[in-house]
Chain A
Amino acid sequence: MRLTIKIAFALVLILAIFFSIHSWQSIQREREKIKASLSREARLVAGTLSKMVDEIMGRQGLPAALLFLERAGNLGRDLKVRWVWLGPGVEERFAPIDDDKLADARPGEAVTILAETHAGEDYLFTYMPVATPDGRLGAIEVSESLQEMRGYVGENVRRSAFTLGAGIACSLLLITVIGSFWVDRPVRRLAAEADRIASGDFSGPLHGFGQDEFGELALALERMRDQLASARNAEQLRLEALEKLRHTERLATLGRLSAGMAHELGTPLNVISGRAKMLQGMTEDEGIRRSAGIIFEQAERMTAIMRQLLNFARRNPPRKTAIDPDQLLTAVCDLLAPTADKQNVQLEHRCELVESRIMADAGQLQQVLVNLAMNGIQAMKDGGTLTLRCFRPDNPQPPEEVEPSDSWLAIEVTDQGCGIPADHLDHLFDPFFSTKDVGEGTGLGLSIAWGIARDHGGWIGVRSLVGRGSSFTLYLPDEAGKETA
């Protein structure tokens, strides 16, 4: 249940109890007052009549007096007068109501009794005892129906109930409206802010919560937000630094490992390939020659892998020269043509840079482009078009570790292949990350490409749609442009 409604109910309950007690008390008072005034009236009537009856009884005898009373009997709708005999053994017509108060009644002293008749109605009986000349004790009974009073009280109760009901409804409405302004709204906003912070959005301060308790809560939330934000920043910086350190360590380890392995494996590999070649020269047996050939090839393949590993581990600093991008793309396409033909891939290249030169190590740049393009070709199992494009990017977003430059050049390699799943994108440039089958790739090509791009002060951007293709873009700072500018 909402807090506002709870408070409203509590308040309204207290209000209702007070109002009910108050109403009850005033109704009771009113009842007493009415009863008192009614009984006064009845005593008056009874007193007057008793005098008259006394008089008539004295002059004309008891029957005349009783006749008079009978005639005067019906004074009004609710007021009835009749003669009763007091004492035991009275016939029913003249019997008073059964009450102890009448036992010791004396003439001239009125007795008032509130009683309920068998019809279920309340009556006020007033007895004025009168002594007859023959010494018997009778009384004039004035009976008055309290129906009217009951109606009046009932009406009062109904009015009070209505007032109470209306009061409760108005209070509820008012408290709900005020509560929603003062409580619900700030609570909802605070909850939304807390959710926002919980979801990791630490932006912007919390405004407009005033000076009340919610304001204090907002301030506390604000302090929490600040602390969380600074903690997260520190954690992020720490993780980034750690990640960089790990990367450097991995590379260093890889360098040491591959250099060590190279030294140990170089000689045995040489022995294997050399012996295989010797074996080929020693025999005419075709089977042996073929086997020796295969041994030689496999040793060569191992050598190639080792060389690639070493290329990665110890890369030479780029020897930059001015390169014509169009020539570079043509050279790369020429190199790729046989592989592309075999895979049924069309090669396209276009250079959108007019009269521009790229300052780079031609061999290394070619190595990067061939690597990217080979990956693209291998991604197109069913053929397609591989496009190499050289252009000036509009608004490149260099990663943090790349030194900013005013002007960039880009070479984009776009394939129509299978694309790269999102969870692979983060690891593409990690050494030894490969999705190719064992034996098809060392997982070093892209990390070498990335390293070369970084050595040139640039980087490689990737966009990929699974099933549609990938696009690798090599960004290089436009150093030639800077010089001429």
Chain B
Amino acid sequence: MNTELRDDCSHILLAEDDDAMREMLAFCLYRDGYRVTTCGDGLSLYRLLEAGATDFDLVITDIRMPALTGTKVLEAISDLQHRPPVLCMTAFGDEATRRQACQLGAIDLLDKPFDIDEFIEKVRRLCPAQRPALAL
């Protein structure tokens, strides 16, 4: 878990079970100026969100994960107040998975393998690295 203080930065919660993938994405997001919290399974993701959903500006989660799948977490947090936007990832996803994720409230489904630049671009559009002025 990355807990370096970047109070004025957007806070992203990244859930990915694959260490290499998690490390790479976290690194890229961090390099781009985000505050990043990571976890490696669905259950940790759910606990983090339950503990403080408002802490996060964006959730990026893999669908296939141990303990709880991404979709299960989406279902579980559907009644949470102030739920942050969720971006899902899956390896070679099909239409059905995409539809299911969107129905459960995900903004988009990223199809692994995706281009890292495009990924960053997408995250930037969803939430700029710097938090909006009202936070100050």
Contacts and interface: CB of A to CB of B under 8 A. Distances in A.
B90 to A, nearest CB: 8
B24 interface: yes
Interface in A434-474: none
Interface string B8-41: 0000000000101100110110000000000000
Nearest to A270: B113
B94 A269 contact: no
Given A263-B64, A275-B24, A270 B112 contact: yes
A277 B117 contact: yes
Quick one: which of B21, B25, B113, B114 has the most chain A CB within 10 A?
B113
Contacts of A271: 18, 20-21, 24
Interface string B68-111: 00000000000000000000001110110000000000000001
Chain B interface, >50% SS class: mixed
B115 interface: yes
Interface residues of B, number: 20
Given A277-B116, A278-B28, A299-B113, A270 B21 contact: yes
Given A267-B18, A270-B21, A278-B24, A262 B116 contact: no
Given A270-B21, A271-B18, A310 B92 contact: yes
B28 A274 contact: yes
- From A272, A274, A316, name the one whose CB has the most chain B CB atoms within 10 angstroms: A274
Contacts of B28: 274, 278
Contacts of B111: 266
B94 A314 contact: yes
Nearest to A271: B20
Nearest to B25: A274
- The interface size bin for chain A is 20 to 34
B88 to A, nearest CB: 13
Contacts of A269: 112-113
B117 A273 contact: no
Contact of A268 (B20, B95, B114): B20
Query: Interface majority SS on A: helix, strand, loop or mixed?
Result: helix
Nearest to B16: A267
Contacts, number: 59
A273 B115 CA distance: 7
Contacts of A265: 91
A263 B91 contact: yes
Most buried by A among B25, B90, B91, B95: B91
A275 B115 CA distance: 11
Contacts of A277: 115-117
A278 B94 CA distance: 28
B24 A266 contact: no
Given A263-B64, A270-B21, A316 B116 contact: no
Contact of A266 (B20, B25, B112): B112
B110 to A, nearest CB: 9
A267 B112 contact: yes
Residue among B28, B64, B92 with most chain A CB within 10 A: B92
A303 B92 CA distance: 9
Contacts of B112: 266-267, 269-270
Contact of B116 (A267, A278, A303, A306): A278
Nearest to A264: B91
A307 B95 CA distance: 13
A439 to B, nearest CB: 19
A96 B91 CA distance: 141
Interface in A266-318: 266-275, 277-278, 299, 303, 306-307, 310, 314, 316
Nearest to A313: B94
Nearest to A261: B92
Contacts of A259: 92
Interface string B45-79: 00000000000000000001000000000000000
A307 to B, nearest CB: 7
A112 B21 CA distance: 143
Nearest to A299: B113
* The 3 A-B residue pairs with the shortest CB-CB distance in the complex, in nearest-first order: A266-B91, A262-B92, A270-B113
18 contacts: A259-B92, A263-B64, A266-B90, A266-B112, A267-B18, A269-B113, A270-B21, A271-B20, A271-B21, A274-B25, A274-B28, A274-B113, A275-B24, A277-B115, A277-B116, A277-B117, A278-B116, A306-B92
Interface of B: 18, 20-21, 24-25, 27-28, 64, 90-92, 94-95, 111-117
